[in-house]
Amino acid sequence: MTGHPHPLTRRRFLLGTGALAASAAVPGLLLASTGNSSRLVVVILRGALDGLAAMPPHGDPHYAALHRDIAIAGPGAPDGALVLDGTFGLHPSLGFLHERYVAGNLIAFHAVASPYRDRSHFDGQNVLENGLSQPLGSADGWLNRALSELPARPGASTERAVALSQNVPQILRGRAAVFSKSPNPTPDIDQELLARLADLYSKDDWFAARLSEGMQTEKLADEGGMTPARAGAAPGMAGAPADRLTAVARMASALMNSDGGPDVAVMEANGWDTHANQGGAKGVLAQRLLGLDRALRALTDGLKDLWPQTAVLVVTEFGRTAAMNGTRGTDHGTGGCAFLLGGAVLGGRVVADWPGLSPGALLENRDLRPTLDLRSVFKGVLGEHLRIDTATLSGRVFPDSAGAHALQGLMRA
Amino acid sequence: MQTEIAVIRFGLGARPGDLSAAAADPRGWLRAQIHGQVKLAGDSRLAPSDQIIRGLFEARAARASMKRAVPAAAEPPKDALNAVREAYLPHYRAQVLARARSAALTDRPFAERLVHFWTNHFAVSADKGAVLGLGGSLENEAIRPHVNGRFVDLLCAVEQHPAMIAFLDNQYSVGPDSPFAQFAARRGRRQFGINENLAREILELHTLGVDGGYTQADVTTFAKVISGWSIGGGKGRLAGGVPGRFFFREEMHEPGGQRFLGRRFPQSGLAQGEAVLADLARQPATAQFIATKLVRHFIADEPPAAAVARVAQAFTRSDGDLPAVYGALLDAPEAWDAQSRKFKTPEDFVFSTLRAFDVAPQDPQEVVRGFELLGQRQYTPGSPAGWADTASGWDGSDALMHRVLWASRVAERFDPGVNPLEVATASLGGYLRADTREALRRAASSGQALALLLMSPEFQRR
């Protein structure tokens, strides 16, 4: 433990981290050599996580009255929030995240949003992943565009990134080669059949590329001594979603730890669209958050020696209404929270330019007003952690993000 | 290739004999399918949704009383928690099996594919508590009767089906000025109000589309319009209706006329919501949105604009008469372009495989597991947007490896007594490439040849 979290004021991050920025502002592509390069994991929470439940602003005088039955009590109360500072806490299910905060490895962001301002999940996720200011602006994703800017790492396979699912989500789609790997095993595929298929696909590049990636991944998994049988025994309904995410996290860390394994991984979790009976300290959302917390612990444990050089971004497409709706849930909103954790993160801080929840402060009289563009976080992480220079970030990775400046000082030097 | 396009792209893949049956008049073969109800083929007997819901109510009540019976600090017994799952699981399995059997056996595969299309358009996901046993119910009870009718009737049947009401949380959506809300307020009970979920998704996903020109205020108003659209059952003041069936709870409905999309809806009660649905069904944005999705599903991931315009026009001119809409799709020259082929979804892959082998599955668990393996667990797209209808949703390398695994297991199973080259010719016709034929001929075993056939690029596309 590196000390108790600092009692930060709301605006402190903007000033407080400025002094740290110099060390991170090294331009150029300096991705370190074999064995010591940065690792990045992005966790996408699909369905719009209620940021006012995950990171309750217990210090805001309007919070309890708005969130009503599903508000999280303040720190100290039974089932109350885990304290971050005088304004914010964490949902009581997020014990591991809180540990990381205390240890100085977690930054909790609030009042953040992508540039998307309508309330469709699907367009919202599209913007979150395409990195532009509007949906359908691009078929590829920002993380893939970022990968395209990285120099080759000696000893690494050509595919630098893995999607922990059968298929590749938009954030990772694009020019740079990536692969997918779900925790469901594909045991006992006859090698001779694969060889003949590769032959049959030789005249069809589209199939050939996918088969070759699939075969390489199998090899990686075998050599890594992965025994996904336990994790994969419960595809679909058989496993609770919470356990499934943990299985996914174990697979991610095992792949990243294997020789020539990927530097970047993307995990996805569904089930955050809590329109009815969301629950408070206990209930449906509490269970989901517990599953997320456990999965992040499993990821951290599994990364072992890689943890000090890892950053994990946890994001969702938008927040939910400030007020509880008529069915003890929340409807689609705008501003929400995000987390950045990892050994490489200069954490133990809340980053929030908090607009407050007073009637006049809400967006369209209903949502938490966002004061920080998520792309500022993404640019900060890609800049300092993956060492992609500012011009490239603004020009090629997030081409219409001029107003969203990279946050500085997110990473340890 | 007209015959192959009709049977494989528009249908569900060829059974032995299908290609020759359609060869004389491929378009006529398709047109003959788009009329009337489309019932399940394969003699499946499924419980109706109200019965399934009542079973769920009973299981929940039993669970609640078991929970009360144990001290608060103790863990409730596992059996009690599993009771709800046990109540729906047999229904879920039966519905998945019935769907696969129907796809394998139907003589109207184009109509059957249209049923699947609308099920995905009006997606519910049977991994949410209230909908666990109802995924197939929505398809069989709301979509099959109306798939060849008028869009507005299909729309009304779907939005008033208990599966949709429950999936998008409308059953307890209460108008803030409704008698029920005021009663609760007088008693000092918790405040009741609307839930926007169903209203928003009807606009965004079922009718106008996300760019269809509505505002947040329209969403909120529409939620008031359909407040009270609920499910029968309940206790005390909430008792009413037939348990498990759609029930309009007048008491929860926001009273008074509403202004929505710039128009007045002075009706009261249930008629107000039905009038709004009828209005939505006539909007040009709805015609455009449905046309785009149909063209994407049947022609190409990037829908050709001319085909979309043709289908949208037919939608508007016929006032949403669906056979006229499907007819316009078949009239589009782009539909018959043999170069433009869609990558099969896992569902397409399974159904066309069953048809290629001319078998209807018997074992529900086997079918359920097969779809889980391939990443398309039936009736659980996970979100109201439904499953991806483009290759990008299905083309991961890991997904391909799962297809190889499934194909090799299926091939092993059907190997004895099947001649791979005959299966290849009967199922692919002119799509079968010379190099694939050669690979099948040179395969080490007939089982390996069958696996190669199923994984060949021409079998994986439609």
Flag if A180 and B399 touch (Cβ within 8 Å): yes
Flag if B383 and A270 touch (Cβ within 8 Å): yes
Most B-contacting residue of A171, A181, A284, A327 (CB-CB within 10 A), to test interface: A327
Question: Alpha-carbon Rg of chain A, whole angstroms?
Answer: 21
Helix, strand and coil content of chain A, in percent to the nearest 5, comes to 35, 15, 50
Most A-contacting residue of B75, B190, B397 (CB-CB within 10 A), to test interface: B397
Q: Which helix (H) or strand (E) holds A402?
A: none
Euclidean distance between CA atoms A162 and A397, whole angstroms: 19
B113 to chain A nearest CA, in Å? 24
User: Chain A residue with minimal CA distance to B217?
Assistant: A364
User: Chain A residue with minimal CA distance to B127?
Assistant: A237
Q: Residue B401: what residue type?
A: M
Interface check B401 vs A, CB under 8 A: yes
Euclidean distance between CA atoms B58 and B53, whole angstroms: 9
A103 to chain B nearest CA, in Å? 32
B313 to chain A nearest CA, in Å? 25
Nearest to B119, CA basis, from B206, B204, B195, B182: B206
The whole-number pLDDT of residue A259 equals: 85
Euclidean distance between CA atoms A405 and A390, whole angstroms: 9
The whole-number pLDDT of residue A38 equals: 94
- DSSP, collapsed to helix, strand or coil, labels residue A356 as coil
No. of helices (H) and no. of strands (E), chain B: 23, 4
Interface check A283 vs B, CB under 8 A: no
What would the mean pLDDT of B36-50 be, rounded to a whole number? 95
pLDDT at B271 over 60: yes
Interface check A244 vs B, CB under 8 A: no
Interface check B382 vs A, CB under 8 A: yes
A/B interface, count of CB pairs below 8 Å? 171
Residue appearing with tokens 């400025």: A18
Half-sphere exposure of A355 (CA within 13 A, CB side): 20
Interface check B177 vs A, CB under 8 A: no
Flag if B398 and A182 touch (Cβ within 8 Å): yes
As a whole number, the mean pLDDT across chain B is 94
The whole-number pLDDT of residue B191 equals: 78
- The number of beta carbons lying within 10 Å of the beta carbon of residue A282 is 12
Beta bridge partners of A313: A42, A340
Q: Between residues 350 and 379 of chain B, which touch chain A (CB distance below 8 Å)?
A: 372-373, 375, 377
- DSSP, collapsed to helix, strand or coil, labels residue A367 as strand
Flag if A181 and B443 touch (Cβ within 8 Å): no
Interface check A33 vs B, CB under 8 A: no
User: Chain B residue with minimal CA distance to A199?
Assistant: B439
The whole-number pLDDT of residue B22 equals: 98
Q: Which residues of B touch A46 (CB under 8 A)?
A: 382-383
The whole-number pLDDT of residue A93 equals: 98
Q: Between residues 112 and 131 of chain B, which touch chain A (CB distance below 8 Å)?
A: 127
Flag if B193 and A217 touch (Cβ within 8 Å): no
Tell me the two tokens of residue B343: 């990558």
- The number of beta carbons lying within 10 Å of the beta carbon of residue A83 is 18
User: Chain A residue with minimal CA distance to B409?
Assistant: A189
Q: Dihedrals φ, ψ of B54, to 5°? A: -65, -40
| Lowest pLDDT segment from A4-18, A184-198, B145-159, B409-423 | A4-18
User: Given B127, B174, B401, which is nearest A218 (Cβ)?
Assistant: B401
Domains annotated on chain A, with CATH: 12-185+228-397 (3.40.720)
Euclidean distance between CA atoms A406 and A375, whole angstroms: 8
Flag if A275 and B456 touch (Cβ within 8 Å): no
Interface check B174 vs A, CB under 8 A: yes
Q: Between residues 54 and 73 of chain A, which touch chain B (CB distance below 8 Å)?
A: 68-69
pLDDT at B275 over 70: yes
Q: Which residues of A touch B193 (CB under 8 A)?
A: 325-327
Confidence of residue B315 (pLDDT cuts 50, 70, 90): very high
User: Chain A residue with minimal CA distance to B378?
Assistant: A236
The whole-number pLDDT of residue A337 equals: 98
User: Given A135, A189, A325, which is nearest B194 (Cβ)?
Assistant: A325
B290 to chain A nearest CA, in Å? 17
No. of helices (H) and no. of strands (E), chain A: 14, 11
pLDDT per residue as tens digits for the range B213-253 = 999 999 999 999 999 999 999 888 888 999 999 999 999 99
User: Chain B residue with minimal CA distance to A189?
Assistant: B405
Q: Which residues of chain A have pLDDT under 50?
A: 1-35, 227-239
Most A-contacting residue of B220, B401, B404, B412 (CB-CB within 10 A), to test interface: B401
Interface check A78 vs B, CB under 8 A: no
Q: Are A140 and A175 in contact (CB under 8 A)?
A: yes
Q: Are B84 and B56 in contact (CB under 8 A)?
A: yes
A166 to chain B nearest CA, in Å? 5
Euclidean distance between CA atoms B75 and B47, whole angstroms: 33
* Chain center to CA of A413: 21
Interface check A318 vs B, CB under 8 A: no
User: Chain A residue with minimal CA distance to B447?
Assistant: A193
The whole-number pLDDT of residue B85 equals: 76
B57 to chain A nearest CA, in Å? 17
Q: Which residues of A touch B174 (CB under 8 A)?
A: 326
Q: A158 versus B297: which is more confidently predicted?
A: B297
**Percentage of the residues of chain B whose pLDDT score is greater than 90:** 84
B166 to chain A nearest CA, in Å? 10
Flag if A186 and B174 touch (Cβ within 8 Å): no
B449 to chain A nearest CA, in Å? 9
Q: Residue B447: what residue type?
A: G
DSSP B335-371: GG-TT--PBPPHHHHHHHHHHHHT-----HHHHHHHH
A165 to chain B nearest CA, in Å? 7
Q: Which residues of B touch A330 (CB under 8 A)?
A: none
Interface check A218 vs B, CB under 8 A: yes
Half-sphere exposure of B224 (CA within 13 A, CB side): 20
Confidence of residue B128 (pLDDT cuts 50, 70, 90): confident
